């Protein structure tokens, strides 16, 4: 049951009765009444003036009177110019609450075997460094988006493409060979991804020192600053070695491949640990090392068909000037592939593995051009979903002190960040309510839930398209639009419900009509019913922030109700039961909503 749908049908019937014209219920638009006016829902009557041939006020008055006389849901109405404000009868709000209570997954739609198959790619780490704060935003957005699309009745496949080959991987490998002295995760006590990241930073440090030395030499020979720098970078022995290693890797050199596999395995073990803590999972993981050859094959096929062209140096390009873009490199002159080649190969494998209806790439907005090109190339190569692929483009995340750089080792490590958030939650245990009676393990688990909830919520409440600054201290505040505030409200409700159970109060599965509700209580039921529409909108707009901010608005409204009205001490039994049922449903919807964001809610805080 949906009040808006019911009223839209009643309005359509009224227009037919009053003016003899057929109007479909879908054409009737109802919106929440603005706070400054009396009523719950507002009908804009201007679209129906051509039917009534009367003034907006008279038309609104006639429709309002018809609804008052013929639709029991409408208790009263008022007209403000061309706006008809409708007040819904209390009995309807109780009926609506019963409807929400009858469905444990209210607002969520289950997929069927016939539902569209949506594949969503996120994470996309490189095996030369651990996951950092930027990856955290990517993973949280991708995971939440997958949950929201599934909640909208889609079959969802969550995939990851691991960038496990290329010049950046060779830099870490070469640095480990030169400076590592056989160091391993076991011998160093470091997670494998952290260990390899250290060697990526070490490569950059030695490379910069080498370039600086060469630059000084060429400046002494009379070259200007720009020429000296370009020559130094081109002739750096370290970079030359890294490029040679990449060529050997692509040629299948056994020694290079064995080292590559050993070091990547260390990294994967580290990644798995990070993903587990973050609560992120994948249905299928693809590896660039297994897709780039498929990509090269597709590019060469395209070359044969005249879709691409080869330059004199042997490199292969796509001419995109007809699409308002430029020329795009697809294969280098030495035959090695680029990211675009790999993405084409991965698309080929995915299309062979799954009957994809829609493909969504969760990648930062610095790659907007890349995905514009990829869409055109996939379409040229005959992929059915190429033209309609979705690049879920999100803004960068920074810290209050500014940007991060992997090569310079100034990134915020995902593991360190999560550990810090959990520790901060543990140190604010005075704000976590009453934890006495809990075992140390239970208290630790609450600290984990609150710390990670603070991190996830702070990132997901921001419109994904915007750049954002992550402030750890602000995120764990127990007041305002934060994860801990929402979690605390949930735990507070669970405490009330436990006390009710201990007092032997049982809430019937269906509440009888008759209780006289306050505007605050009616408003809360209306907000609960809005959850379904919010989930739909979040799915259509690819917007986890809609769910996050809905949860905050709901608990903010509930907290005002909690402070203004008694629940367990209410003397009117019908009202007491209604308020307990209302509290149950607020907790349920908060749990469902936060669950879509990948955020746990604790039973106690």
In this structure, what are the phi and psi dihedrals at residue 28, rounded to the nearest 5 degrees? Answer: -90, 120
Which residues have C-beta within 8 Å of that of residue 387, sequence separation ≥ 6? 375, 378, 379
Q: Which DSSP string corresponds to 358-381?
A: EEEEEEEGGGHHHHHHHHHHHHHT
| 176-189 per-residue burial string, b: 16 or more CB within 10 A, e: under 16 | beeebeeeebeeee
Domains in the chain: ranges and CATH: 3-88 (3.30.1360.70), 164-280 (no CATH), 414-596 (1.10.730.10)
| 471-501 per-residue burial string, b: 16 or more CB within 10 A, e: under 16 | ebeebbbbeebbbbbbbbbbbbbbebbeebe
Q: Which DSSP string corresponds to 465-512?
A: TS-EE--HHHHT-SSSSSHHHHHHHHHHHHHHHHHHHHTT----SSPP
At residue 96's C-alpha, the angle toward residues 59 and 18, to 5°, is: 20
The closest of 348, 409, 418 to 383, measured between CA atoms, is 348
Residue 452, CA distances (Å) to 31, 148, 284, 600 in order: 36, 19, 25, 9
Tell me what pLDDT residue 122 has. Answer: 98
Per-residue pLDDT band for 406 (boundaries 50, 70, 90) equals: very low
Strand-pair partners of 359? 119
Rounded percentage of the chain residues whose pLDDT exceeds 70 = 97
Rounded to two decimals, the pTM is: 0.91
Tokens (6 digits) for 150: 């599934």
Tell me what pLDDT residue 523 has. Answer: 93
Rounded CA-CA distance 123/195 in Å is 20
At residue 427's C-alpha, the angle toward residues 424 and 431, to 5°, is: 100
The yes-or-no verdict on residue 594 having pLDDT over 80 is: yes
Which residues have C-beta within 8 Å of that of residue 451, sequence separation ≥ 6? 418, 421, 422, 423, 424, 425, 426, 476
pLDDT tens digits, 321-338: 999 999 999 998 988 788
Q: Are the CB atoms for 60 and 83 separated by under 8 Å?
A: yes
pLDDT tens digits, 517-564: 999 999 999 999 999 999 999 999 999 999 999 999 999 999 999 999
The closest of 511, 566, 588 to 94, measured between CA atoms, is 511
The yes-or-no verdict on residue 225 having pLDDT over 80 is: yes
Per-residue pLDDT band for 429 (boundaries 50, 70, 90) equals: low
In this structure, what are the phi and psi dihedrals at residue 243, rounded to the nearest 5 degrees? Answer: -65, -40
Strand-pair partners of 552? none
At residue 249's C-alpha, the angle toward residues 244 and 255, to 5°, is: 100
Q: What 3-state class would DSSP assign to 75?
A: strand
């Amino acid at each position: 049951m949906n009040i808006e749908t019911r009223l839209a049908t009643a309005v359509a019937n009224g227009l037919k009765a009053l003016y003899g014209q057929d109007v479909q219920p879908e054409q009737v638009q109802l919106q929440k009444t603005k706070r400054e006016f009396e009523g719950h829902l507002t009908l804009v009557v201007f679209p129906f003036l051509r039917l009534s041939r009367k003034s907006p006020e008279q038309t609104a008055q006639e429709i309002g009177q018809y609804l008052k006389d013929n639709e029991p849901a409408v208790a009263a109405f008022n007209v403000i110019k061309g706006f008809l404000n409708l007040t819904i009868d209390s009995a309807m709000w109780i009926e609506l609450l019963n409807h929400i209570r009858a469905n444990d997954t209210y607002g969520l739609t289950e997929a069927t075997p016939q539902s569209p198959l949506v594949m969503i790619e996120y994470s996309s780490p490189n095996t030369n460094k651990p996951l950092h704060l930027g990856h955290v935003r990517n993973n949280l957005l991708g995971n939440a988006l997958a949950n929201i699309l599934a909640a909208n009745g889609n079959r969802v496949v969550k995939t990851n493409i691991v960038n496990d080959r290329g010049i950046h991987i060779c830099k870490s490998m070469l640095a480990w060979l030169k400076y590592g002295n056989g160091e391993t995760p076991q011998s160093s006590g470091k997670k494998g991804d952290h260990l390899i990241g250290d060697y990526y930073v070490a490569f950059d440090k030695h490379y910069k020192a080498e370039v600086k030395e060469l630059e000084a030499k060429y400046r002494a020979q009379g070259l200007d600053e720009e020429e000296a720098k370009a020559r130094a970078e081109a002739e750096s022995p370290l970079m030359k070695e890294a490029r040679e290693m990449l060529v050997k890797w692509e040629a299948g050199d056994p020694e290079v491949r064995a080292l590559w596999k050993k070091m990547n395995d260390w990294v994967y073990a580290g990644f798995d640990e990070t993903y587990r803590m973050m609560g992120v999972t994948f249905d299928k993981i693809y590896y660039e090392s297994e897709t780039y050859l498929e990509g090269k094959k597709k590019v060469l096929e395209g070359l044969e068909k005249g879709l691409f062209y080869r330059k004199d140096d042997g490199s292969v390009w796509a001419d995109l000037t007809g699409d308002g873009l430029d020329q795009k490199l697809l294969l280098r002159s030495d035959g090695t592939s680029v990211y675009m080649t790999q993405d084409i190969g991965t698309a080929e494998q995915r299309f062979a593995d799954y009957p994809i209806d829609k493909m969504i790439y969760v990648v930062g907005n610095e790659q907007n051009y890349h995905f514009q090109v990829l869409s055109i190339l996939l379409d040229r190569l005959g992929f059915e979903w190429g033209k309609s692929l979705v690049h879920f483009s999100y803004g960068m995340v920074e810290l209050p002190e500014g940007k991060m750089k992997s090569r310079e080792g100034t990134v915020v490590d995902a593991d360190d960040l999560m550990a810090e958030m959990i520790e901060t939650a543990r140190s604010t245990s005075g704000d976590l309510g009453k934890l006495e009676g809990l075992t140390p393990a239970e208290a630790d688990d609450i600290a984990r839930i609150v710390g990670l909830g603070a991190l996830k919520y702070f990132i997901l409440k921001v419109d994904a398209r915007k750049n954002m600054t992550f402030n750890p201290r602000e995120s764990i505040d127990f007041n305002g639009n934060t994860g801990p505030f929402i979690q605390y409200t949930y735990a507070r409700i669970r405490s009330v419900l436990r006390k009710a159970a201990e007092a032997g109060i049982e809430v019937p599965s269906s509440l009888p009509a008759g209780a006289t509700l306050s505007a605050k209580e009616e408003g809360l039921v209306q907000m609960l019913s809005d959850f379904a529409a919010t989930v739909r909108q979040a799915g259509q707009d690819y917007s986890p922030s809609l769910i996050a901010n809905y949860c905050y608005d709901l608990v903010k409204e509930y907290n005002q109700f909690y402070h203004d009205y008694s629940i367990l001490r209410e003397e009117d039994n019908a009202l007491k039961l209604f308020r307990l049922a209302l509290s149950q449903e607020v907790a349920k919807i908060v749990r469902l909503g936060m669950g879509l964001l990948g955020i746990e809610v604790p039973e106690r805080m």
